[in-house]
Amino acid sequence: MNFDEAKELIEYKTGVWIKLDDDIPKDREKVLARTEDRLIYLLNYSTDLYKVDEYDFCNEKSKSGFYDYDSEFGYYTMSGIVEFMHIPE
C-alpha cells in the first residue's frame, strides 16, 4: 500500500463528527455517539423509542433518542449525546 492509498483509507475510516443541532441519525441506525464529556459509545438511534420495545420504553412513546441493549437489564437510553458519526460500511 502506498502513501496515497493509506491516506485515503485513513480519511475513509475516520469519518466526521456531526453535531445533533445540525442533523440526526436515520431511524434505527447504529452510530458512534460522543457525550459532553467526550466519551464515545456505539449506540442505536430511534425516532420513536416505544416502537423499539413497548415494555422497556413504555413511557417513551413518540420520543426519539439513543439507546442500546444490555442482556442483563434490557434496553436503556443514553442522554448527554452531543455528536455522532456514521459507521463506515
**CA 32 – CA 85 distance, rounded (Å):** 5
The model carries a pTM of: 0.79
pLDDT at residue 73 tops 70: yes
Cβ atoms of 62 and 50 closer than 8 Å: yes
pLDDT digits (tens, 9 = 90+) for 48-58: 999 999 999 99
Q: What is the pLDDT at residue 17?
A: 87
Torsional sign, CA 3, 5, 8, 9: negative
Residue 6 included in any domain: no
Domains held by the chain: number: 1
Residue 7 included in any domain: no
Residue 70 included in any domain: yes
Residue 60 included in any domain: yes
pLDDT at residue 21 tops 60: yes
Q: Is 53 helix (H, G, I), strand (E, B) or coil?
A: coil
**CA 20 – CA 25 distance, rounded (Å):** 9
Among 21, 22, 70, 20, smallest CA distance to 45 is for 20
Residue 2 included in any domain: no
pLDDT digits (tens, 9 = 90+) for 30-46: 999 999 998 999 999 99
Residue 47 included in any domain: yes
Q: State the residue range of the domain holding 21.
A: 16-86
Q: What is the mean pLDDT of residues 16-29?
A: 92
Residue 62 included in any domain: yes
Cβ atoms of 30 and 83 closer than 8 Å: no
**CA 60 – CA 71 distance, rounded (Å):** 20
pLDDT band at 9 (very low <50, low <70, confident <90, very high): low
